[in-house]
Structure 1
Amino acid sequence: MQIDKLRDQELDDLFDGILSLESKEDCYKFFDDLATSNELISLKQRFQVAKLIDEGKTYSKIQEKTGASSATVSRVKRCMDYGSGGYKLVLEKRNNA
């Protein structure tokens, strides 16, 4: 896992803070302060790409719908196939909610 290189108390603190959020409005407030607009756009785009990959959409449809580059689609697909399972975990939790 690439994140293992970053694992430390400060990252634990960040994740604990995120886990303490109780609503979408809490998320909007926190992420508005935490990240730039461009960072949030990148994160939401990657998540949309993951959702569409999970739905079996083609790369061209994903690019058309999200505006993501082929490199971004490929990277997300690679993470979904060979990564830590984070995208699949969240997608499954959302589908079961």
Structure 2
Amino acid sequence: MQIDNIRGQELDDLFEGILKLENLDDCYHFFDDLCTTNELIALKQRFQVAKMIKEGQTYQKVQDRTGASSATVSRVKRCLDYGSDGYHRVIDRLD
């Protein structure tokens, strides 16, 4: 996992904090403080790309709907195929 390079107590603290969020309102407040608008836009775009690819949408349709670059779509697809299964875990739990 690429995240292993930064694994440690500080990252554990962040993830433990995220696990304490109880609802969407908590998420909006926490991520508003934690991230810039551009960071949140990038995160939500990648997540939508992952959902659409998992649904079987074409790269072109994903790019058109999300505004993501071909590089972003390819990277997300690579994570879906060869990553740590994070996208799959979350998307499957939403269904």
Calculate the TM-score normalised by the size of structure 2. 0.99
User: Is 1:4 aligned to residue 8 of structure 2?
Assistant: no
- Paired with 1:23 and 1:6, the residues of 2 have a C-alpha distance of 28
Report the Cα offset of residue 57 of structure 1: 0.2
Cross-structure match for 1:79: 79
When the two chains are superposed, the root-mean-square deviation of aligned CA atoms in Å is 0.3
4+ residue segments displaced more than 6 Å: none
* Residue ranges of structure 1 left out of the alignment (5+ in a row): none
Cross-structure match for 2:15: 15
- Paired with 1:79 and 1:54, the residues of 2 have a C-alpha distance of 11
Report the Cα offset of residue 50 of structure 1: 0.2
- Paired with 2:94 and 2:6, the residues of 1 have a C-alpha distance of 27
1:34-73 alignment to 2 at 5 Å?
34-73=34-73
* Residue ranges of structure 2 left out of the alignment (5+ in a row): none
Per-residue deviation, residues 20-72 of structure 1 (Å, max 9, x unmatched): 00000000000000000000000000000000001000000000000000000
- Paired with 2:27 and 2:50, the residues of 1 have a C-alpha distance of 20
Size of the aligned set, in residue pairs, is: 95
Identity, % of aligned positions: 71
- The amino acid across from 2:11 in the alignment is L
